[in-house]
Amino acid sequence: MSSKTVVVGMSGGVDSSVAAILLKEQGYNVVGLFMRNWDSSINNDYLGNPNLDNDICPQEQDYNDAKAVCEKIGIPLHRIDFVKEYWDYVFKYFLDELKKGRTPNPDIMCNKYIKFDYFAKEAEKLGGDYIATGHYAKMEDGYLKRSHDQNKDQTYFLSQVSSKQLKNVIFPLGDIDKTEVRKIAEKHDLITAKKKDSTGICFIGERNFKNFLKNYLPNQTGNIVNIETKEVLGKHIGLMYYTIGQRKGLEVGGTKDKLFVVGKDLEKNILYVCEGEDNEYLLSDSCIVEDVNFNCNLRPTEMTAKFRYRQPDNEVRVEYLDDGNLLVRYNNVKSVTPGQACVFYQGDICLGGGIVKEVRKDEKKLWYLL
């Protein structure tokens, strides 16, 4: 393998660190590439974070960690700036979807446009025959498959990556679990061995979501209304802060039952809620899926699907529509939401996915879901 060069996306985390180690042990010529996709210094959205020393920008800390890892294992590290591309293709999409009252997944679009597009083009300039990331996923026989560690499997976030983009991709962590990844990092005495996994928005990280969004979208308070009784229960802080099925963050009183977000009226600025987690208003039996991407030649009509990352697989039946969209039927799934990803599977194979356009019940579009 020594004649083949792999460019690894080094994030400054433990997963990409161990991915680089495994590739080097397999005999590849390994090159690290760090992507800077967000400019926290301009946005001033990292200052005062108690988890950071000396107000170091999180991405600068990640770069320093990635650099230390590459020096430790003896591979070069390059750095590339994709701040503009990330804003144009990922963050702007994120904001536009929130304005529409939908629930976007920027991590999925980051993979589609940044990690497996702009990153891949830069890797080619560096002489890379392959690219590799620290995702928990597999490529086998041309198919994208779930990882060995089912709890960490990240194929959901790769659902918009095309077959062409996946052609020369290696996922070194596909056959090991997170515990083993940590052990390998500790064995090599890496600075990232015990580093906390990143959470929050892709490349932006943990934030006070409400305070963060105020920098970009004006929030407008409005009524919280019980969708069944039409009673006004309280005030919401802005429709963009809520997603369908959400229970926490509803500041209302006077009810003994748990309240769940069930819909939004953008024109009237109303947030609809219902009582009880098994309420009929939370259930649907079909949806229209747009922006469909299949990453292989399989086109079954019966498969399973996930509408949320941590959700169990749901059995679905798919009708391929003339406009390129899909009609996806299922049995009473809770909290399917416009803007979410619908990701398809056949066993361990991730077939790809699309974006939920509208949600239906008994063949009718649910009026309270946008």
Catalytic positions are 110, 202
Decide: 296 and 143 in contact? Cβ < 8 Å: yes
Q: How far is CA 207 from CA 81, 86, 144, 284, 300, in A?
A: 22, 18, 32, 32, 40
Cα–Cα dist 169/205, whole Å: 25
Q: What is the separation, in whole angstroms, between the first and last Cα of the chain?
A: 53
Q: Given the DSSP bridges, would you call strands 341-346 and 326-334 parallel, antiparallel or unpaired?
A: unpaired
Exposure string for 45-68, b = 16+ CB within 10 A, e = fewer? bbeebeeeeeeebbbebbbebbbb
Distances (CA, A) of 146 to 10, 314, 315: 22, 16, 17
**CA dist 94 to 36, 77, 216, 356, Å?**
18, 30, 11, 15
CA count, 13 A, side-chain hemisphere, 264: 26
